[in-house]
Amino acid sequence: MTLREPQGKGSRFLLIGPPGAGKGTQAARLAEFYGVPAISTGDIFRSNVSNQTELGMQAKAYMDAGDNVPDSLTNDLVRDRLSDMDAAGGFLLDGYPRTVDQVRELDAILLSHGHSLDAVIELVADPEVVIERLRLRGAEQGRSDDTDSVVRHRLEVYREQTEPLVQIYGSRGVLAKVDGIGTIDEVTDRITSALSERGLAAPESA
């Protein structure tokens, strides 16, 4: 499938951060601010399953069995999503890549069309602050996945998965570490300031 070329210079971002760091909230805000779609693997899976696409049906079989969707199928779904018209002028990825192999695949998808990521934003948050935040959310919403032990395990898994990606993107000079603790506006301001310092301004202020 051919990736449609943007009319102008778009921004291609990746947002990573631990559970409870407000990543989803910031992804939505940044997507609106920079005029690009926020793309998460969860949304891609749900959309393809809902539309009963061939790839979606393959993913559903794994999801219904309680298994992780394999890298090869996840890569195909992401490649297909990035070929959509709304992503031609840029995008913000949330939840992909999660592994070194997925980093290589994303590189291949972008480089085959002469593109690369403009910036990778890592939301950094003190683990104890995140744990307390998720504990409160779990109590308020009755979520079984926000207990202390489960949250600590999720944070450990996140560190194991993310550290290699942080090293890769850090070595490329595209990584921006941003403090994820504070009000929503404060964190958004920190992110946009970090991106502005790298010459990445929102379209209306460019």
Q: Which of 46, 137, 152, 177 is catalytic?
A: 137
| DSSP 8-state code for residue 144 | G
Q: How far apart are CA 133 and CA 63, in angstroms?
A: 28
Known catalytic residue at 135: no
Q: Which of 29, 81, 133, 154 is catalytic?
A: 154
Known catalytic residue at 154: yes
Q: Which of 60, 98, 135, 152 is catalytic?
A: 98
Residues 6+ apart with CB under 8 A from 97: 14, 103, 105, 106, 165
| CA dist 29 → 66, 92, 160 (Å) | 31, 11, 27
Known catalytic residue at 98: yes
Q: How far apart are CA 49 and CA 140, in angstroms?
A: 30
Q: Which of 143, 159, 172, 198 is catalytic?
A: 143
Known catalytic residue at 137: yes
Q: How far apart are CA 132 and CA 60, in angstroms?
A: 34
Residues 6+ apart with CB under 8 A from 6: 88, 89, 90
Q: Which of 23, 29, 81, 133 is catalytic?
A: 23
Among all residues, which ones are annotated catalytic?
23, 98, 137, 143, 154
